[in-house]
Amino acid sequence: MNENSSSNNYANRRSERRQRINERRAMRSGGEWIGGALLLFIGLLLLARNLNFMTFDNWWALFIMLPAIGSFSTAWGMYRADGHFSMRARGALIGGLVLIAITAMFLFNLNWTILGPGLLILAGIGLLVNVMLPGGE
């Protein structure tokens, strides 16, 4: 009888462990594609530069995209975890969009005197909309 209960206990622990593993797999943000998409985007930019379709001197601005991609991944993970586009997911998305806009401004030497204030206005609108829409914590 003791052998049967220890066998049953082992089966229960194994089943619970398998369930926790499956739950963690389901919660993954699906960010496996982000690395490939980032490499593809950077490769296309460098190819366009080498073929003289566009020139950019501030190639270092591509490094600003790394936290932006992380922010998009976080937004996607929060969306999947919450089941809707919550305030947390919208906040991460707004942060990623602001970083992408800053990257574009540096990368393509865009005019900061016009686009800088416009970026601040859009970020403010995004934050206000985020607060006003339902779907908070």
Q: Is the pLDDT of residue 2 over 70?
A: no
Smallest CA-to-CA distance from 106 within 94, 93, 95, 115 is with 115
User: How does residue 70 score in pLDDT terms, banded at 50, 70 and 90?
Assistant: confident
Domains of the chain, residue spans: 1-28, 31-132
Lowest-confidence range among 51-60, 82-91, 118-127?
Answer: 51-60
Report the alpha-carbon angle 101-105-110, nearest 5: 135
Of residues 116 and 37, the one with the higher pLDDT is 116
Q: Is the pLDDT of residue 9 over 70?
A: yes
pLDDT for 30: 58
Smallest CA-to-CA distance from 95 within 112, 116, 119 is with 119
Mean pLDDT for the stretch of residues 86-113 = 87
Q: How far apart are CA 64 and CA 88, in angstroms?
A: 21
Q: Is the pLDDT of residue 111 over 80?
A: yes
Smallest CA-to-CA distance from 31 within 64, 63, 71 is with 71
- For 62, the token pair is 């591509």
Q: Report the percent of the chain where pLDDT is more than 70.
A: 85
